[in-house]
């Protein structure tokens, strides 16, 4: 997908869905890290450890690793052996495609719904 070969509508739809998924993960991570960072800093201040920034620095390292895993803007080194959210998305796509090729997920979901319809007593009798 370069300037000479722009993405198709389907590829663009996939890209936007993956980007939205990654944005959601990034947002959830940020919401979680905000209060944890305050707790880590307070723990460092209140303990008698020689390095009061120890817990906060560990949190920063965790944040850096999660940033690489989420790979929001696709800047993660593709040659690296570490996995990213893109690997997770590809695996999920593979599972969905496999299910669709087998006949889809929908028929499996309809069966339990039909059973429950047959078992529920009719109202108004």
**What pLDDT is stored for residue 111 in this prediction?**
62
Coil vs helix vs strand at 40:
helix
Domain ranges of the chain: 9-118
| Long-range Cβ contact pairs of 15-21 (< 8 A, separation 24 or more) | 18/86, 18/89, 19/72, 21/85, 21/89
Q: What is the four-CA torsion angle of 100, 101, 104, 108, rounded to 10 degrees?
A: -130
Region 30-51: what's the mean pLDDT?
95
**Percent share of the chain, pLDDT over 70:** 77
Q: How far is CA 68 from CA 5, 6, 10, 92, in A?
A: 28, 26, 26, 19
Q: What is the mean pLDDT of the chain?
A: 85
* Residue 40 clears pLDDT 50, i.e. is over it: yes
- CA dist., res. 31 & res. 29, Å (int): 5
Q: By C-alpha distance, which of 20, 33, 92 is closest to 66?
A: 33
**What pLDDT is stored for residue 125 in this prediction?**
47
**What pLDDT is stored for residue 43 in this prediction?**
96
Region 44-49: what's the mean pLDDT?
92
6-10, 25-29, 110-114: which has the minimum mean pLDDT?
A: 110-114
pTM: 0.70
């Amino acid at each position: 997908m370069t300037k000479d070969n722009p993405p198709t509508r389907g590829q663009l739809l996939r890209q936007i869905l993956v980007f939205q998924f990654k944005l959601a993960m990034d947002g959830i991570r940020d919401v979680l890290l905000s209060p944890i960072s305050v707790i880590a800093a307070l723990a460092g201040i209140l303990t008698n450890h020689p390095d009061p920034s120890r817990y906060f620095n560990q949190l920063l390292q965790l944040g850096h690793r999660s940033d690489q895993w989420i790979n929001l803007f696709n800047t993660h080194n593709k040659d690296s052996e570490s996995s990213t959210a893109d690997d997770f998305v590809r695996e999920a796509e593979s599972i969905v495609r496999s299910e669709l090729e087998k006949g889809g997920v929908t028929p499996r979901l309809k069966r339990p719904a039909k059973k429950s319809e047959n078992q529920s007593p009719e109202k108004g009798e």
